[in-house]
Each structure stands twice: as C-alpha cells, then as structure tokens.
Amino acid sequence: MTASPRIPPLEVDGLDAATAELLHSCVQDGTAANNIYRTILRHPRVFKRWTRFGAVLLYGWIPERDRELVVLRTAHNCRCAYEWEHHKQLAQRRGVSAEEVEAVLQGPEWAGWSQWDAALLRAADELHRDSRVGDATWAVLAERYDERLLIELPMLVGNYHAVAFAVNSLGIQYEAGEAQP
C-alpha cells in the first residue's frame, strides 16, 4: 500500500446532487463512505457498472461462507491488505472461524480444511496463477456446484482481482479509525 492515495476519495459532504444520488443508489448496504467507493466514484460510468456487477457477485448464488473464503484467498494472492481487512470481518460474520481466516494465508494445504474448502482455495490459487481452474479442482467443485455456480466462481475471483489491482494501484487507504495491519 502506498503512503498516501494516488487519487484521493471524494468527500461525501462535498458531492453534488447527481454524484450523491449515484453513490447512494449503487451502494445501499451502509458502506457508501468506504474509500474504495468514494475513489472509484470519480469515474461515474465505471463506478455504476462495477458496483452493480460486484453486487451480483457479492450477493450471488455462491454460499456466503464459500464466497468469503475465495475472496480472502484472492485478496491474499493479490497482496491487497485493504480487501483482506474488509473481508476478514465479513467472513467471520458469514461462518468462517477466526482460525480458518488465518489458515487462508496457508492455502489449501492447511490440514484443517475439508476437501471442499481446500478445493475452493485451490480454485482461487489456480485462477490467480494459471488463469483457469484445473481439471482435478473443477471435478471436486462440479460435485456440489451447478453450472450457474461454476460460472460465478471464476467471475468472482476475476472481480476481486480487478478490485485488488485498483486498490493497490490507486493507493486506496483504510477508512479513518480503522485498524491497519
């Protein structure tokens, strides 16, 4: 993370009416003040489409716990501390234990993972490294996931790669008062 933002976030109280409406129409879960949203909002067209696509994935058909494991592993693979910290909290609210959150850093080889959890983490690793899910991992995933979920999974990982690229490149900082790793 850079020492200061390369592109600073907009101040919520300084937004013109149209920009404020865009922010609040696209981000309705109480996170509108997040620096990532207020930074990407500087490009309204990207912001509008990205938040809608991200919402489809964040509230998609992949079970919440599975989704958070994959997002955490992707944040780790991309060295995106901002996303790691935000999703670490979400993961714990969605059924991932504190021990499992820390084990995500070890990857799919951690002895405590079920075969399923290991396959999810392996899929994130393979997508990061090879730009595709390998055949053995795909076979495990296809035992439980239907076509919709098998389509959604690489899209989820790809979206969080894009998020990490933006956060890391733009120097997006933690929100005021938030603990930094």
Average per-residue pLDDT in the chain? 92
**Whole-angstrom Cα distance, residue 70 to residue 118?**
10
63: buried, middle or exposed (CB in 10 Å: 19+, 13-18, 0-12)? middle
| pLDDT, tens only, 46-100 | 999 999 999 899 888 999 999 999 999 999 999 999 999 999 999 999 999 999 9
Q: Where are the domains of the chain?
A: 64-168
- In the chain, the largest separation of any two C-alpha atoms, in whole Å, equals 53
Distance CA 33, CA 39 (A): 10
What is the value of pTM for the model shown? 0.91
pLDDT tens profile 125-161: 999 999 999 999 999 999 999 999 999 999 999 999 9
CATH number of 64-168: 1.20.1290.10
- Structure tokens given for 139: 């076979």
Q: Which two tokens stand for residue 49?
A: 């489409």
C-alpha dihedral sign at 36, 40, 42, 44: negative
pLDDT value of position 22: 87
Please, which pLDDT band fits residue 14 given cuts at 50, 70 and 90?
A: confident
**Contacts of 108 by beta carbon, 8 Å cutoff, 6+ apart:** 117, 118, 119, 121, 122, 125
Tokens of 87: 């999703």
